[in-house]
Amino acid sequence: FLVSAYLMEHGSAEDVGYYSNAVVLASYVGMLVFSAVETDFFPRLSAVNGDREQSSHLVDQQTEVLVLLVSPLIVAFILFLPLIIPLLLRRDFMPMLEMSRWTALALFFTALTRPVSFMSLSKGDSFTYLLQELFYDLFMVGSVVLGFRYGGLRWTGIAIFASAVFDWLLNLLITRVRYGYRARGRVGQYALLQGLLLAVAMCLMTLLRGWGYWVAGFVMLLLTGSLSVYFLNKETNYIQRLVQKWRK
């Protein structure tokens, strides 16, 4: 509400529409993956809230899965944005393209943050959870206002991305101090690998035009998707189970 009010006051109704639709479109991508956190992960985390080691292990597992699932979706979303915006909205909304890319990229850090942020709730520490959300909201509003003021829609998208990074760092700090959580396992490996691929994909699809854009986009989508399928299959044997069900 505060962001929309500021954009209306210092920009225009069109700017409010661009901002709102960019956030909504990106949230649709996140809903495909993050909804599983609330329905499946949180009850399992609550069941072991008294065991620090078990809680940390469960958070690591969920983070790994989210990173692997959401990375190809982000690349696909960024790649097809020039088609999605005119299809779902109108061609008049194309000025929100670059902001939408940064908003989608922020989902990567949301995937890293979401499992960690639920540790406080699973332990019944609602005050800490509210503080986490409050600090994030204040930072997001401030950064978006500054971004729009000095850089228009492009920097508004970058501000949303910066807010996601801030939220991730904040949650890591709080959970480490209060609950002794430290990411282990393959979280860092998967995050670094997919993060680098997302950064390359973002640069290529921002700089290239025409056939170069589509070729580079599909190559990066194939890379991120293949890596995610490989690691998910390696960790969970999901592909074998899927083939077995199909054969039956």
pLDDT, tens only, 76-95: 999 999 999 888 888 888 88
CB distance 159 to 7 below 8 Å: no
- Which residues are within 8 A (CB) of 35 and not within 5 positions of it... i.e. 6 or more apart? none
Question: Averaging pLDDT over each range in 32-46, 163-177, 223-237, which range is the top one?
Answer: 163-177
pLDDT, tens only, 27-81: 888 887 787 666 777 778 778 777 778 888 888 888 888 899 899 999 999 999 9
Largest CA distance in the chain: 61
CB distance 91 to 97 below 8 Å: no
pTM of the model: 0.88
pLDDT band at 118 (very low <50, low <70, confident <90, very high): confident
Q: Of 228, 181, 242, which Cα lies nearest the Cα of 67? A: 228
CB distance 92 to 17 below 8 Å: no
185: enclosing H helix or E strand = none
Q: Which two tokens stand for residue 220?
A: 């990066």
Place of tokens 């990074």: 165
CB distance 37 to 112 below 8 Å: no
The C-alpha atoms of residue 81 and residue 94 are separated, in whole angstroms, by 9
* High-pLDDT (> 70) share of the chain, %: 93
